[in-house]
């Protein structure tokens, strides 16, 4: 007999995490646990206000699926029970974990992969004054890739300061919808000069059709503009890359399908995360196999992670232990 349990958790951050839309000092996550016999599957998700989500609503969404989950609904059925978002992600990942435990195999084997390789994650620098971002970059200059948040009048100064502090590190710039097209066309050649590898979501969702036909000096990546396969056709006309996140896709099931179709459309794949614990990162490791860019640094931003968590040495993330997930 199945039994679904759900709870919310708060995990303090090492320091405030600041993007163009605001700041946060903790990861507020929802954890779903599905017990069946001796096995328990777990999934973690983050309600995200930018997408109209808040904790009470996500908990209510999960509760609306309780009867079906307890009655034995599988991952395929779940896709029709709930829309893409944090609620479905928590349940979907819990069902993957449960199925792996019941089958006595690892979750990546269920996904058709014989093994899971370690991945290198970028490390995110919060939006701050150029001098402060340079100091943060200096502390992390040995990491292979840094992602810096922008979204203000001093954006070029910020990028130049980070580049000077970390001259050998690959850089991603993330605007979180904070630029206008005029800003972007002015800034992009300078970012190319500074050897920036990628610019994430420069324009607001709904305003990015203007990117069609524009040749950006730096590859552009859709984040807020891409949730599931439904947005891929538009993204393929506007972007070179898409950032797939389990919370946006509504779980590992849709995220894997989105990655396959994105590559078929000629798009590069980035795998990202919300700020959360290792339990949320573990299933994303499967999607991250072969991805051009990986941003699964959530646990590195926490004051403490759950135990057991992912083993992270520098920027290298090892496959999750079975005691964590999958």
Structure token pair of residue 220: 């552009």
140 contact partners, CB below 8 Å, separation of at least 6: 123, 125, 146, 166, 169
Structure token pair of residue 64: 């609306």
Q: Which of 24, 120, 147, 149 is catalytic?
A: 149
154 contact partners, CB below 8 Å, separation of at least 6: 129, 130
Q: State yes or no: is 245 an active-site residue.
A: yes
Q: Which of 101, 120, 147, 245 is catalytic?
A: 245
Q: Which of 79, 60, 59, 57 is nearest to 7 (CA)?
A: 59
List own/partner pairs for 25-30 with CB under 8 A and 24 or more apart.
27/274, 27/275, 27/276, 27/277, 27/298, 27/301, 27/302, 28/55, 29/276, 29/277, 29/280, 30/6, 30/55, 30/58, 30/59, 30/62, 30/86, 30/87, 30/90
Q: State yes or no: is 147 an active-site residue.
A: no
Is residue 4 classed as helix, strand or coil in its secondary structure?
strand
313 contact partners, CB below 8 Å, separation of at least 6: none
Q: Any idea which residues carry the catalytic annotation?
A: 149, 245
């Amino acid at each position: 007999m199945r039994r679904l349990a759900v709870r919310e958790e708060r995990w303090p951050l090492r320091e405030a995490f600041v993007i163009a839309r605001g700041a946060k000092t903790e990861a507020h996550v929802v954890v779903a646990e599905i017990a069946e016999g001796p096995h328990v599957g777990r999934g973690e998700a983050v309600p995200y206000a930018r997408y109209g989500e808040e904790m009470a609503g996500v908990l209510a969404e999960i509760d609306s699926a309780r009867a079906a989950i307890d009655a034995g609904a599988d991952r395929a059925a779940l896709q029709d029970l709930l829309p893409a978002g944090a609620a479905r992600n928590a349940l979907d990942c819990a069902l993957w974990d449960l199925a792996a435990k019941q089958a006595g195999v690892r979750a990546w084997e269920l996904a058709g992969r014989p093994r899971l390789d370690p991945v290198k994650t970028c490390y995110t620098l919060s939006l701050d004054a150029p001098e402060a971002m340079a100091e943060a970059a200096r502390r992390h200059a040995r990491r292979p890739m840094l992602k810096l948040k922008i979204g203000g009048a001093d954006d070029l100064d910020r990028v130049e300061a980070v580049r000077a502090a970390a001259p050998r590190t690959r850089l991603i710039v993330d605007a979180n919808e904070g630029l206008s097209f005029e800003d972007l066309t002015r800034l992009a050649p300078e970012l190319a000069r500074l050897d920036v590898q990628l610019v994430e979501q420069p324009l607001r969702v709904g305003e990015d059709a203007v990117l069609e036909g524009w040749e950006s000096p730096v590859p552009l990546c859709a984040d807020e503009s891409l949730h599931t396969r439904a947005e891929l056709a538009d993204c393929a006309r506007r972007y070179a890359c898409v950032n797939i996140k389990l919370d946006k896709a509504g779980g590992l099931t849709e995220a894997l399908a989105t990655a396959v179709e994105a590559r078929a459309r000629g798009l590069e794949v980035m795998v990202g995360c919300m700020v959360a614990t290792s339990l949320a990162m573990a299933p994303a490791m499967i999607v991250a196999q072969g991805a051009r860019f990986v941003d699964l640094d959530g646990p590195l931003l926490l004051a403490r992670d759950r135990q057991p968590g992912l083993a992270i040495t520098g920027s290298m993330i090892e496959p999750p232990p079975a005691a964590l997930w999958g």
